[in-house]
């Protein structure tokens, strides 16, 4: 049995169906436009910081038909936001965790994110902080679909 010549085959658009229904999602709060120049992100309200991170990822993914949703403050199962990227090659469900810290982010936070990714069925985990990551955290994330975004990146994005 043969499928015939390739020239006779019709392309089929791949489908990436992402379940976007989640009772943890809340109405977003606009934070970015209300920030004053020189605002210390590590001192801002933690909930505002989570919404700011959502806005950041909305800007990063803008124009790519992506959607970023922020979750409720409690019982969020370790998820501060979820990004949905419908691109069939690089897309999927991305779990975002925001950590407003002044000191080094403990390796346990990166391990927790990885566990949350597995529980959520996420393709990628992103941990954003106002602080920085140590060697053990970076080593743990190295071979996994985890992106660590330390405070130094805020100077290039914000």
Cβ atoms of 20 and 45 closer than 8 Å? no
Q: What is the CA radius of gyration of the chain?
A: 18
Q: What is the pLDDT at residue 36?
A: 83
- The CA angle 76-79-84, to the nearest 5 degrees, is 120
pLDDT tens figures, 100-127: 988 999 999 999 999 999 998 999 999 9
Residue-level pLDDT, tens digit, the chain, 158 residues: 566 777 777 766 665 566 667 777 777 778 888 888 888 888 888 888 888 888 888 888 777 778 888 877 766 567 888 888 887 788 888 999 999 988 999 999 999 999 999 998 999 999 999 999 999 999 999 999 999 999 876 655 54
Could you tell me which CATH number the domain at 68-158 has?
Answer: 3.40.1350.10
């Amino acid at each position: 049995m043969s499928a015939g010549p390739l020239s006779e085959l019709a392309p089929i658009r791949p489908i990436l169906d992402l379940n976007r229904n989640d009772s943890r999602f809340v109405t977003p709060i606009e934070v970015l436009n209300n920030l004053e120049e020189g605002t210390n992100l590590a001192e801002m309200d933690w909930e505002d910081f989570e919404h700011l991170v959502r806005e950041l990822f909305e800007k990063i993914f803008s124009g790519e038909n992506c959607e970023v949703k922020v979750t409720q403050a409690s019982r969020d199962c370790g998820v501060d936001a979820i990004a949905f990227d419908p691109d069939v090659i690089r897309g999927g469900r991305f779990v975002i965790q925001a950590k407003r810290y002044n000191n080094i982010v403990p390796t346990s936070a990166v391990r927790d994110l990885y566990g949350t990714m597995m529980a959520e069925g996420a393709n990628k985990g992103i941990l954003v902080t106002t602080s920085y990551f140590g060697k053990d955290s970076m080593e743990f994330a190295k071979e996994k679909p985890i992106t660590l975004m330390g405070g130094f990146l805020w100077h290039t994005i914000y």
